[in-house]
């Protein structure tokens, strides 16, 4: 740096990093950069551009420091200047600016922008355009130019070319610097990759790195159109990427297990298929099956009709009272989207008469467990240990499902077993065992030695130079909870629920096992981040924005990913394993039945049904349990559910969203062994119906009482009491629309058999003599009377099926139906003798009534044996749901 002159104009601060070069005239010199030794004109604006943009020898940290110094110096200078519209404008890239400022109103100037401030605004502008998925041509729009001139006349928008070159390179350089810091700060890294073809027919590959905290970065996106995607070429590409990371950190490679990637899976590094993708392929088996193909075809016909007809969609929204209702079309490559499509069909089913509604409900209930497993395995915090557990749970749910087609059910189970044989890796069981909260919980004792042998072999592969005997000692201490693992402090949930924290704490006590555990727990079971990159790039490089080169589009994707990461930061202490505690929290709405498991020691690969012990226990976080009542088949309790039921999955924050603290009813069921199958079917029907209709008491699932081991239903708690209590004070307020919803009890207002003793004699009269509750024939429409008597028929063949009931009740919606004339006549007869609406319903109840379930030992009389044998030929109907509209409908 040249000495300061005694006379003349003082040099600007930029000269700190330049020296005077060749003299051009009496007062001007060439400036020679102190970093790269290249020369440039000694004009401050061009010197700033060189030091902040062009120079390749300066380190990024030093460049940022220089930029801050220049910005501070410029700010101090501008404070001494008066605000004057005639001041000369300073611009570091005059040749690359838009200058169309016609018709811009005069605005009082607020300040002179420094060079650093302009550069910062340019960078933020590009990040905003990328984040909003706006085209770069935005800066060339005349109205946009006018807007920015009105905001600050001293700022001129950069050109599109300047944004896509210098500004983009500057931001991308900062991103690359952050990625290098990410790699150096990580203990272990997993590499995942995926392929994609853009709108310009360029064959792109991306590579994502994930650290032990399951945080991800886009390491590289490149154009490989000039190479064939063979197994050897793919292997060479990802090996080159992995070697640049370092073998000491590179732990595993995850892919969607395409045919080319399968060939590339070799070498010392673990290669794991994307388990979320593998589960998705199981859903494909269901969607493409002949069992559901007719249903799906009808679904698509309905969806297409409403998507293609604005008039039909408008009428549907009017009938449904939902202005945003829109049937969703499934994505062919995302098989779980068929669940959403089926749900939209059920949303409009009250306004449509569709034969396939029954099977649509079955399709949703069948796909739910698959959806739950995929959502768990797709999260960024999932571990390999959850793979075997969730798949075993899935197999158990399908095995216990109420599918009437046993051949189809068997084919689904066979498909799960076959795919498990193809993708199984012992690391799934090893990682489950090394999770301190799970440990050996639920794992069949038969497979403990298998897991130990597999872990020993994997350790020898990872660390051939380590002390293998010491590793075995540490493994046995952990397995038996001896030595340092016996300390009560390390068994605290604050450690065991967060495996990385646990094993880092044990690093000094068990160095070999701790590092081995951290290595495996750092591997995610999915390549979902790689697939999300293509969604991001697809939004950037579209058919209308096809002028972007693959290199620039890749840089914009990396920048966009970092913007999203900054906005959606998740505390690293949040661990996905809280969703997997004992596995029943995969879905609170499904029966948790992971353990269907027998023992089979002959298979080399453990079958899913053999992995977990059938005696594994599951608990729910329910406290303040209070006894409410007791019935003939169980007891009813009230309790406070600490976290509440699952509402939905929050994709933005990658976690389940729960309702929060809420009161629930726990209804115990005694002696379930004789009615288990029917009980489970009833639970399933209850969950399906309450999912669609808010006025039905919701059932969240079942659990077991820890003391009596009785099954307990978990249901909504209602503070306002039972229907009986409600009718006593509100019977005369009910309209006929509301009565039709509740039928007998609401129509009559009285309890059945209220005026007689509930004993063995009454039971015999009902069973043998066909006694039924009385009907108010005067005040009940004949159509309803006829329907009730058909439902009460002693002969099962005369009783209506559910579909017949649905059609009959739906016909009441029509205002020209005869039932409304019957109702009008009844109301006409009552209008001079109607009780006030505030009046309570009064009637005397026998003191020998008992409105709880009760068992009577009634001898078989054989009086109605003629009905018994005929029941085999009747087709029992499926559950149906419907809604009676109000008069306003």
318 part of a folded domain: no
237 part of a folded domain: yes
Q: Which domain holds residue 645?
A: 619-716
pLDDT: which is higher, 244 or 746: 244
* pLDDT given for residue 387 in this prediction: 85
Specify whether 608 is located in the same domain as 633.
no
The CATH code of the domain that includes 869 is 1.10.510
The pLDDT of residue 203 is above 50 = yes
Contact 666, 637 (CB under 8 A): yes
Nearest of 277, 283, 303, 276 to residue 364 by alpha carbon: 283
The pLDDT of residue 636 is above 80 = yes
Ranked by mean pLDDT, which of 45-54, 143-152, 576-585, 841-850 comes out on top? 143-152
219 part of a folded domain: yes
Specify whether 650 is located in the same domain as 690.
yes
Residue 715, SS3 per DSSP: strand
Ranked by mean pLDDT, which of 142-156, 340-354, 795-809, 844-858 comes out on top? 142-156
User: Rounded distance, CA 204 to CA 421, Å?
Assistant: 31
Contact 346, 361 (CB under 8 A): yes
Nearest of 313, 307, 350, 312 to residue 329 by alpha carbon: 307
DSSP character string of 191-238? EEEEEEE-TT--EEEEEEEEETT--EEEEEEEE-TTS---HHHHHHHH
* pLDDT given for residue 268 in this prediction: 66
Nearest of 862, 867, 840 to residue 730 by alpha carbon: 840
The CATH code of the domain that includes 646 is 3.30.200.20
147 part of a folded domain: yes
The CATH code of the domain that includes 242 is 3.30.420
Specify whether 764 is located in the same domain as 861.
yes
Ranked by mean pLDDT, which of 187-196, 455-464, 546-555 comes out on top? 455-464
Asked which of 694, 716, 738 is the last residue of a domain, the reply is 716
Mean pLDDT for the stretch of residues 219-245? 74
* pLDDT given for residue 513 in this prediction: 92
Q: What is the pTM of this model?
A: 0.51
* pLDDT given for residue 474 in this prediction: 92
Is 743 exposed, middle or buried, given 0-12, 13-18 or 19+ CB atoms closer than 10 A? middle
* pLDDT given for residue 866 in this prediction: 40
**What is residue 588's DSSP assignment?**
T
User: Rounded distance, CA 179 to CA 209, Å?
Assistant: 9
198 part of a folded domain: yes
334 part of a folded domain: no
User: Rounded distance, CA 92 to CA 14, Å?
Assistant: 13
Q: Which long-range contacts (CB under 8 A, 24 or more apart) does 813-820 make?
A: 813/884, 813/885, 813/889, 818/783, 819/781, 819/783, 819/784
**What is residue 58's DSSP assignment?**
S
The pLDDT of residue 120 is above 70 = yes
Question: No. of H helices and E strands in the chain?
Answer: 32, 15
Asked which of 600, 616, 632 is the last residue of a domain, the reply is 616
Specify whether 728 is located in the same domain as 869.
yes
Specify whether 239 is located in the same domain as 149.
no
Nearest of 551, 561, 556 to residue 129 by alpha carbon: 556
* pLDDT given for residue 678 in this prediction: 57
Contact 446, 484 (CB under 8 A): no
Asked which of 168, 195, 220 is the last residue of a domain, the reply is 168
824 part of a folded domain: yes
DSSP character string of 729-795? HHGGG--HHHHHHHTHHHHH-S-TTTTS--SHHHHHHHHHS-------SSSS-HHHHHHHHHHT-SS
Cα 168–chain centre separation: 33
User: Rounded distance, CA 405 to CA 270, Å?
Assistant: 40
Specify whether 23 is located in the same domain as 113.
no
pLDDT: which is higher, 145 or 659: 145
94 part of a folded domain: yes
Specify whether 792 is located in the same domain as 858.
yes
DSSP character string of 99-135? ---TTPPP-----PPPHHHHHHHHHHHHHHHHHTT--
* pLDDT given for residue 88 in this prediction: 39
Specify whether 428 is located in the same domain as 492.
yes
Ranked by mean pLDDT, which of 201-205, 238-242, 409-413 comes out on top? 409-413
Residues forming a β-bridge with 649? 656
pLDDT: which is higher, 621 or 416: 416
Mean pLDDT for the stretch of residues 284-309? 70
Mean pLDDT for the stretch of residues 805-827? 76
User: Rounded distance, CA 798 to CA 616, Å?
Assistant: 47
Specify whether 468 is located in the same domain as 553.
no
Q: What is the pLDDT of residues 687-721, one digit of tens each?
A: 655 555 555 677 777 776 766 667 777 888 877 66
Mean pLDDT for the stretch of residues 389-402? 80
User: Rounded distance, CA 191 to CA 193, Å?
Assistant: 7
Residues forming a β-bridge with 334? 331
Specify whether 543 is located in the same domain as 628.
no
Specify whether 522 is located in the same domain as 533.
no
Specify whether 195 is located in the same domain as 150.
no
For all residues of the chain together, what is the average pLDDT? 70
Q: How many domains does the chain contain in total?
A: 6
Range list of β-strands (E), 330-418: none
């Amino acid at each position: 740096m040249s000495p300061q002159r005694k006379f003349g104009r003082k040099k600007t601060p930029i000269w700190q990093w330049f020296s005077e070069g060749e003299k051009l005239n009496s007062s001007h010199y060439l400036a020679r950069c102190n970093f790269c030794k290249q020369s440039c004109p000694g004009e401050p604006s061009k010197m700033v551009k060189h030091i902040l943009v062009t120079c390749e020898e300066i380190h990024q940290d030093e460049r940022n420091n220089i930029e801050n110094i220049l910005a501070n110096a410029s700010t101090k200078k501008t404070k001494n200047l008066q605000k004057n519209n005639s001041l000369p404008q300073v611009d570091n890239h005059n040749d690359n600016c838009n200058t169309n400022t016609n018709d811009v109103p005069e605005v009082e100037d607020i300040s002179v922008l420094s060079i650093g401030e302009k550069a910062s605004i340019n960078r933020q502008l590009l990040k905003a355009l990328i984040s909003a998925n706006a085209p770069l041509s935005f800066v060339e729009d005349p109205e946009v130019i006018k807007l920015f001139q009105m905001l600050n006349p001293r700022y001129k928008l950069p050109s599109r070319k300047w944004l896509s070159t210098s500004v983009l390179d500057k931001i991308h350089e900062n991103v690359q610097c952050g990625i290098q810091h990410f790699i150096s700060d990580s203990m272990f890294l997993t590499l995942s990759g995926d392929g994609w073809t853009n709108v310009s027919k360029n064959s792109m590959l991306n590579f994502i790195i994930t650290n032990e905290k399951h945080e991800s970065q886009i390491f590289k996106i490149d154009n490989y159109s000039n190479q064939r995607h063979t197994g050897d070429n793919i292997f060479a590409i990802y090996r080159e990427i992995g070697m640049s990371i370092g073998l000491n950190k590179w732990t595993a490679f995850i892919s969607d297990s395409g045919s080319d990637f399968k060939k590339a899976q070799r070498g010392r590094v673990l290669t794991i298929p994307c388990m979320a993708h593998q589960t998705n392929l199981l859903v494909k088996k269901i969607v493409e099956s002949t069992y559901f193909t007719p249903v799906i075809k009808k679904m698509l016909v309905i969806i297409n009709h409403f998507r293609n007809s604005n008039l039909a969609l408008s009428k549907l929204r009017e009938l449904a009272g939902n202005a945003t209702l829109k049937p969703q079309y499934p994505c062919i490559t995302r098989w779980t989207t068929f669940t959403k499509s089926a749900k939209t069909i059920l949303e409009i089913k009250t306004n449509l008469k569709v034969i396939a509604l029954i099977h649509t409900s079955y399709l949703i209930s069948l796909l739910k467990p698959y959806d739950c497993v995929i959502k768990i395995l797709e999260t960024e915090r999932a571990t390999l240990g959850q793979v075997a557990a969730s798949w075993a749970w899935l197999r158990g749910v399908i095995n216990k499902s109420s599918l009437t087609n046993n051949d189809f059910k068997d084919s689904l189970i066979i498909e799960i077993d076959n795919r498990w044989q193809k993708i199984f890796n012992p690391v799934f069981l090893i990682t489950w065992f090394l999770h301190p909260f799970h440990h050996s919980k639920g794992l069949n004792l038969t497979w403990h030695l298998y897991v130990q042998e597999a872990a020993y072999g994997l350790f020898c592969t990872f660390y051939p130079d380590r002390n293998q005997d010491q590793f075995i000692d540490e493994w046995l201490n952990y397995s038996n909870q001896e030595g340092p693992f016996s300390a009560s402090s390390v068994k605290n949930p604050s450690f065991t629920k967060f495996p990385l924290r646990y094993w880092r704490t044990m690093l000094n006590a068990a160095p070999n096992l701790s590092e081995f555990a951290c290595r495996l727990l750092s591997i995610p079971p999915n390549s979902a981040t790689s697939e999300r990159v293509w969604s991001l790039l697809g939004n950037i490089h579209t058919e209308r924005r096809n002028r972007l080169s693959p290199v620039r589009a890749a840089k914009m994707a990396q920048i966009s990913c970092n913007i999203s990461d900054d906005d959606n930061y998740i505390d690293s202490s949040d661990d996905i394993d809280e969703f997997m505690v004992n596995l029943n929290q995969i879905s609170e709405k499904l029966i948790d039945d992971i353990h269907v498991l027998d023992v089979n020691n002959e298979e080399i690969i453990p079958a899913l049904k053999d992995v977990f012990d059938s005696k594994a226990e599951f608990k729910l976080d329910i406290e303040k349990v209070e006894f409410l009542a007791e019935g003939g088949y169980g007891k009813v309790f009230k309790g406070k559910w600490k976290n509440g039921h699952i509402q939905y999955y929050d994709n933005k924050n990658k976690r389940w969203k729960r309702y929060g603290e809420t009161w629930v009813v726990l209804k115990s069921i005694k002696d379930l062994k004789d009615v288990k199958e029917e009980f489970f079917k009833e639970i399933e029907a209850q969950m399906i119906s309450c999912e669609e209709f808010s006025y039905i008491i919701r059932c969240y699932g079942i659990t077991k009482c820890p003391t009596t081991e009785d099954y307990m239903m978990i249901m909504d708690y209602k503070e306002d009491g039972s229907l009986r209590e409600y009718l006593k004070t509100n019977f005369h307020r009910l309209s006929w629309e509301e009565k039709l919803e509740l039928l007998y009890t609401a129509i009559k207002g009285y309890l059945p058999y209220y005026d007689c003793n509930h004993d063995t004699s009454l039971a015999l009269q009902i069973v043998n003599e066909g006694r039924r509750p009385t009907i108010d024939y005067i005040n009940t429409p004949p159509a309803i009377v006829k329907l009730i008597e058909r439902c009460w028929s002693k002969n099962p063949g005369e009783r209506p099926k559910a579909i017949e009931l649905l059609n009959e009740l739906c016909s009441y919606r029509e205002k020209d139906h005869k039932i409304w004339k019957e109702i009008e006549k009844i109301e006409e007869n009552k209008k001079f003798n109607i009780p006030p609406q505030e009046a309570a319903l009064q009637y005397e109840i026998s003191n020998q009534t008992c409105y709880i379930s009760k068992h009577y030992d009634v001898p078989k009389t054989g009086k109605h044996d003629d009905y018994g044998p005929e029941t085999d030929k009747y087709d029992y109907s499926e559950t149906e749901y419907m809604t009676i509209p109000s008069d306003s409908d």
